[in-house]
Each structure stands twice: as structure tokens, then as C-alpha cells.
Structure 1
């Protein structure tokens, strides 16, 4: 008589091996008999593992119920036996899964991918309560289109531990909040509780570090946001500058002037915020190079000449030969901020930028005949967001960051700043650079003789402008044409080259944005234009990228940079420099 174990799901072991009942008797095949016994032992081992497994195992049809399951699966679901589970759960979707929609998602993923691993879900127990499990499912298309095999682990303890951890974290946060409030109360009554001071101070150090980390994150976000704002602001500023060059009726001219002042204030604020952000992150490292300070001062003089004319003030620049190692960009920013303040708070009289030599130092002084500063406020004006003077005291009010930037940049460079002021008479700001002035005079470079006439106008000069922002291209073209330039515009390198080939045009200079479309750069576009024309055409980058890395790279290529938003007087000075050295 055959043993029940000799059959597997209605088939004898010999049937599984392809031997029917009419096959030659097994007694004549000892090796085959041994193999059959091995398979029987293997089957019994798998059957034992299936029945004794700690995790639930089942085979089921997704459109119906269970085909097979082990005791562990029945226990997880709260049923008396596997047969009880198979008999009572005939629809997995409605009777086993707590969420039908979750079942539908799992089913679709199985049909798409064939398997899913360790997915956390909730199953419905026999008493209708949920149980948290991690289920791994494998589709068996060989057994049926929606037949699956699954391994199920009860993760109730894990979920409870996780919930407990969440609660502990919530309790901890509440305790931290309660403790913070207690510390604030203790700080308010500090003079009555001297013995608590050291404890409070230690905890405040921790809070200060957290605040500092948050502040650095804010600075990074601010720098990125300010950079993105510079692009549309640059287009608007160029358009307004072009309008100012036009003959407009008095009322329209007044409105254009108001818009100009508003944009100017926004530009100054963004530039100040970017610099303060870099300084707070200690990301501004001096790039020391031999700099002709006299030429730098004269360049600023040309830049602010139009400001002085508009304000009805006299403006003078007095220089001496001086060639010193400094960070040209930072020193220029310091002096530009000091000059901007001088013009902002001077209603009549004059402004003076002067270089004065001392035996062991160079003094760069900015004098004005403005409203002056009271002695009690001299120490406050270098703090962030501190207005130099109250509203109504004259001039366009700043955001209170200019002098804070000056003081920090002076500190980074290792210089010293001095201030003397008399209310109603004016002020003098002095930046003191510790240098050997005898050596600085001897090393001074001869003045570069420029080509006369460009400072007054650019009539008939052809300028090629490359920028991937159509609004900026249109605004730049409008402004340059107001100056008499013949402007060629292009959104990328290839269009510019095609135009130059077709028209056989030779522009006098190229102005290119650094970041172009398709990962291209303005530097690459300039090099391509120079190669096509066979000449080292005067060129400059106009970009909102203020990074020190870009500045170092372009200096190695002898390519000047003008940062956005572009101010007309700086653009005019740049063009004059490019055309004068060509």
C-alpha cells in the first residue's frame, strides 16, 4: 500500500519524474529508486520548514483566496488553523487587507514588476482588528495569471517601538521647549539668581550654535535668491537708463527718474545682501595682486562724475603714484560704498577722493561737505541695518549695510578705517593701508594713455552683445544705441558666428554673459569670435556670477568682468577702457 507521502498534490513522485504506471518496475532501477528517496526526503524537509516557519507563508490567487498557507500565517491572522484561514477568507481584497485601495496598488505593482519586497501593510485578523506586517510577494505566472506566493512577518512590536520613539521625540521636543522657556525666565531674573548664571550661559552657547547654523543656511539661500533676482533687475535697469538718455516730457522724465531711483535702491540692497552673506559665511578670501591704486581711484572718479553732475556737486580726485598688493575688487567696493554715502548725504558743496602718502602707509580719504554725524553715533554707523541718518536728513536713504560691509572688508584685508565728522560741516572717512610708500612709488606703473573721444561718445562703434536672456539683450541694445553704438545682438555663440560670417562684420568689442544656454560660457563665445575674425578683439564678461573662482579664472584669461545689474556709468567706463586699449 502506497504512503500518502508518496503523492505531491495528487501526483506520485514517479509521475513528477515522468514515469507513468506503465513504466518498467522500479526494482530494476536501483539508482532511480535512490533518487526518488532523495526527492522524498527533500520534500519532507521543505514540508517541515513550511509548517514550522516562524514567518507566515502562503500561496493565493489575487482574484480569490488562499491556495495554501502555513500555521504561522494562520496565527498572524488570528485563525485556529491554516484550513480555518483558507475556508473563511475567500476574497483577499475584502477579507484579508484592511485597505482595498492598498491591495489594488500592491496588485498593480505585482502585475507590472513581478515582485515586491518587505512592504509594510496592515492585514485584517479574524476578530477584525488590524495587524502590522511586512510582506514580500512573488508572482507565479506559471501557476496562473494572478497566483502569488508570499512571506509575511509580524512587525507589530517594531511598529509599536517606532510609535513609542515618535512619542518620545515629541515628549523630548516638548521638554526642550519647556526648558527653553525656563531659561528665558531665568535670564530675565538673572540679577536675582547669580548662582544660576554659569548654567544658563552654557545652555545659551548651545542655542547660539544652533542659531548660527540656521543663519548660515539663511545666508546661502539669500545669496542664491539674490543672484536670480539680479537678471530681471538688470534688464529693467538698462531699459530705464536708455529712457533717461532720451528726450522725454517733464512729467514722464520725472516718473522715469523715480523708477530709476527705486531700481538703484533695489540694486544696492541686493549687492549689499550678497556681500554681507559672503562675509558672514567667511567665504570672501582676499585675492592679493599688484594694483595701481591711482588708476583705481581715477576709474571711480569717472564712474561718479555723472552722479556729481546730477546732484549739482563738485567732485575732485587727487592721486599719487602707488602700486600695492591688494584685493582690487574688495578695495573698489570699499571706496565705492564710501563715495555713495558721501554723495547720498551731501546736499551742497563738494566731495573729494584723495590718496595721501605716509612713511609706512597709504591713506585713501573720502571727504564731503554733507550733514555730518553726531559724535554719539560714530560707533553705531558700522552696524548692520543702521541708517547713517534719519529719514528727511537729505539724499536717498540706504538699507544700512554699506558701512557694515566697509568695516568687514577692511578687517578681512587687514587695513584700518578712521572717521572724523562734524554735524553740519561734513565727514572724512580714511582707509589706512599699511605699506612701504617709497617702494610703492618706485613700482608705480606709467599711466596708460587712452584714445580720446570714447569717454564722450561711441558714435558708429560696433558692439557685439551675447546674452541668453532676450529681455537683457533688448535693454542693452537700447542703451548702447542711445550712446550712438551700432549694436549686434545674439543669444548664443553659433548665431553670432553665423551673422559675422554672412555680413563680414568686424565689431570693435564683444560683451558676453558668462552663463549661456546648453552649458556654454561667454568666455567660449568670445574665444570663438576671436578665432573666426583672426584678431584678439577687446571683450568683457557681463554676469551676475560674483564668485571669486570665476574672477580668478577670467583674470588668467585677461578678461575683465562687469557684474550685473549693470550701471550705465560702469558700462561706459568699461567700454572706454576696452576701446582705448584696442
Structure 2
């Protein structure tokens, strides 16, 4: 008890005693609270920590509610965006369907137009080839040669247009079959030997009889582009066409002694409308689409293409084709040495069925120039009536028939089947502008030859000689 309390009256001493008693109670309560806390810890600190945690929980709960509100708003915007994207996707699908329909329509239109264009072009090529083989003054021969080359340019441009359209539309399907590579290269060698000679170049050809497996028409398109470019960009020297055996198949190679291709152009010349820079007077004939078509066809066939070049020394393009296996006893192909010899066709009886009068006249002129006895007709009944009124006994060494005849007449395959019932074993060559794979397979199964329009006279000559000597 302090001094003031001791000196005061009874009331002050009483209050002081009460104060002491309350202090003792408070100390006891504090001690009890602390003794009931966490073992080994500071109970009051734990209490403060609990209060702090409660405050943090409250704050985080409020933040969570705010986040949920924001997420709700984001979800609303997201649903709106999804609705917009769904509508956009629907419009894109509709636009894609319209584009595909337009592309298919374009492809069908180009196919129809190309067929109509190929008919007179085919006739013109036949007439020109027949004219070139006639005895004419040198001036006339030169003019006829110019006409023939111009027609070849038209054919190449038209073929490029149709090929690009078919490749883009995905309607060009490969017709894979085994054949001797000489069946392809012998024709190309003879054809491009003449073209190279007209440019003052020599074409060296290394023949091969290796059997490969590919689409003959599409592979021919690739090799033609190689040869055309080699001759186009080579001003002097020679062009090489040959084959090399590789572990993965047969490599068909076209090399030249031209200016070569700069290293910075090697990766771009296979793009559309890209051409190597070369000072050639005939360079303007190209559209820069040839190697783009080569790249697409090779990718579709699965045949790797390779390019090597040294500026100032020349270039070499090659394509690797897998080996194949022929059925037993294939017909022996005609070699290039046999092509100039016309004796093999002199006197051969050839029937031609085509509903285009110009083509019939052109075939008669061309085949007649080769020494053949030709009978032309627009249909099977007309041919049979012509044969019935003829003085010679009916029969032919080869039948050449167009696939698309008049709408009221059966197609060329049916006509050939009908005629072979009467003349068993009659050799048949089907002529068509239709590149459908099933048609070529059907003709091959029937044992018929199949040539595409516009008809290449050299290819026809070699096929005729093959069939006549079989």
C-alpha cells in the first residue's frame, strides 16, 4: 500500500486495497489465458496472428469476389467472341465451298475448252507434219518448220494451262504402271534431237532398257520440261539425255552446256513465273511455269528431283524413278535407229475412226506420206460400209480410233471391241484428249495403245511400228 493510502482516511485505504485485489485478479487471468495457449508458443501472439489471418481471409474473400465479377464479365465477352467466331467460321466454310465449286467449274470449263482447242490443233499438227515430209523448195520447208514450231509452242502453253488447272484442283491422278524407260526416252530423244539441231546444238542420248514404274504421260511431261529448258537456255554445245542406276531406282538426267544457274536462284526457279536469267532469243516463249509443274508432278508421283549447276559450265536436272517389273513377254520397243526407216510402215493397212473431218484428212495425209494404205471414217458403220464396197479384202494392221465420237455413237473403246469381234487380234491405238486414269487403265487392260491429243506424229509413228512388228 502506497504512502498516500497509509496517510489517508479509511475510504482511501479501502480503495487502495480493492485496487491491489483487482491487480492480482488481472494478473491471474492473464496467467490463465497464457497457460491455455499453444504449447511452447506465445498464446497472445497466436491470438494476434489469428486476428491477422482473419483479416487476410476477409481481404482475399473480397478480392475473390472482385475476380469472380471480372471473370463473369470476361465470360460474357468470350461468349460474344465465340458467337462472332462461329458466325465467321460458317461464312468461311460457305466461302470455301463457293471457291471450291468455282474452282471445279473452272477446271471443267478449261477441260472442255482444251478439248475443243485440241481438236483443230491436233489436225493442224497432222497437216504440218505431213507437209514437212513432202518434197518442197527450201523456202517452203523453212516456212513449214516455223509453222510446226509455232504449233508446238501453242501446244506447250495450252498443256501448261490445263496441267496447272488440274494440279490446283487435285483432279490430275497418276496412272502408275511398269514400262521400259526406252519406250519414253527413245521418242523424246528423236523429237528433241531435231529441235536441238535447229538451234545448232547436238543431243547426246544414252539409251537404256531398264523397267521403271511411273505414270508415263506425267513423267514425259517432266522430261520434256527438262529438255525444253536445256535447249532454250543453251546457246552452244550439247544437251545430254541419259540414265544412271541408283540404289533407289533409275535416275533420268538431262544436262546441258548452258550458262548455268546462279546459286541464289537455285531455290526459286521451281516457283511459278520464275525463270533463270539467260540471254536467249527464245526465252520469251516461256512463262516460267515449266519447273513449277515439274515440282508438283514429281511430288505427286513421289519421285525426287535434283538440280546441280555451275555458272558458266551448265546445269543438270534429274528425277529418280523406282524400278518396275513387266509382265512376261513384253513387246520389244522400237529404237531410235528404226524411226527414220519408213520401210516398216510402207503398205501397212491402217483404219482411222474420228468424227472430226479435219483430223481424218490430216491422218490420211500423214499416214499416206509414210506409205500406209489408209481408210478413214467418222464412225464404225461408215467404216464397215466403206470396207464392204472396197475391192480389197477387209482387214487392217492397226486400228486408230478416237475415244470421243458423236453423242449418238458408242465410244472408241466400244467400237474397238466390236471390230475385234469380227477381226480378232486387231491391234488398236486409242486417241483421246481425256486424261482420266481409269480410261488409260481400261485401254491398257484391253491391250490397246493409248496416245493423248494433240497427237505427236513421231510418237504415233513409233507406236505403229511397234504394233506392226509385234
* Alignment TM-score, normalising by the size of structure 1: 0.58
Deviations 1:261-310 (A, max 9, x none): 22111111111112111111111223332233344333433443433444
Unaligned residue ranges in structure 2 (runs of 5+): 1-84
Instruction: Tell me which of 473, 476, 479 is aligned to 2:360.
Output: 473
SS at match of 1:519: coil
SS at match of 1:498: helix
Structure 2 CA distance, aligned partners of 1:572 and 1:371?
Answer: 35
Q: Which has the larger radius of gyration?
A: 2
Compute the displacement of 1:254 (Å).
3.3
Structure 2 CA distance, aligned partners of 1:528 and 1:555?
Answer: 17
Partner of 1:230: 118
Compute the displacement of 1:407 (Å).
0.5
Structure 2 CA distance, aligned partners of 1:490 and 1:446?
Answer: 31
Aligned-residue RMSD, C-alpha: 3.1
Structure 2 CA distance, aligned partners of 1:547 and 1:347?
Answer: 38
Partner of 1:372: 260
Structure 2 CA distance, aligned partners of 1:447 and 1:549?
Answer: 23
Instruction: Tell me which of 430, 442, 467 is aligned to 1:541.
Output: 430
Q: In the superposition, relative to structure 1, how do residues 441 and 234 fare at CA in structure 2: closer, same or farther (>3 Å)?
A: closer
Q: In the superposition, relative to structure 1, how do residues 362 and 382 fare at CA in structure 2: closer, same or farther (>3 Å)?
A: same
On the 8 A contact 1:302/1:573 being kept in 2, the answer is no
Structure 2 CA distance, aligned partners of 1:484 and 1:388?
Answer: 44
Higher relative contact order (CA 8 A, sep 6+): 2
Structure 2 CA distance, aligned partners of 1:491 and 1:575?
Answer: 20
Q: In the superposition, relative to structure 1, how do residues 445 and 314 fare at CA in structure 2: closer, same or farther (>3 Å)?
A: farther
1:252 aligns with 2:252: no
Compute the displacement of 1:211 (Å).
5.5
Instruction: Tell me which of 392, 398, 401 is aligned to 2:286.
Output: 398
Deviations 1:493-521 (A, max 9, x none): 01111222333233221111111122322
Unaligned residue ranges in structure 1 (runs of 5+): 1-198
Instruction: Tell me which of 175, 178, 189 is aligned to 1:290.
Output: 178
Partner of 1:164: none
Structure 2 CA distance, aligned partners of 1:372 and 1:445?
Answer: 43
Structure 2 CA distance, aligned partners of 1:535 and 1:370?
Answer: 52
Q: In the superposition, relative to structure 1, how do residues 212 and 374 fare at CA in structure 2: closer, same or farther (>3 Å)?
A: farther
SS at match of 1:246: coil
SS at match of 1:510: strand
Compute the displacement of 1:474 (Å).
0.8
Structure 2 CA distance, aligned partners of 1:309 and 1:535?
Answer: 43
Matches within 5 A, 1:114-513: 206=92, 209=96, 214-320=102-208, 322-389=210-277, 392-394=280-282, 397-433=285-321, 435=322, 448=332, 455-457=340-342, 458-503=345-390, 504-513=393-402
Structure 2 CA distance, aligned partners of 1:535 and 1:425?
Answer: 56
Compute the displacement of 1:453 (Å).
5.7
Compute the displacement of 1:401 (Å).
2.2
Q: In the superposition, relative to structure 1, how do residues 506 and 482 fare at CA in structure 2: closer, same or farther (>3 Å)?
A: same
SS at match of 2:308: strand
Task: Point out the structure with the larger helix share.
Answer: 2
Partner of 2:42: none
* Alignment TM-score, normalising by the size of structure 2: 0.71
Structure 1 CA distance, aligned partners of 2:464 and 2:450?
Answer: 12
On the 8 A contact 1:317/1:354 being kept in 2, the answer is yes
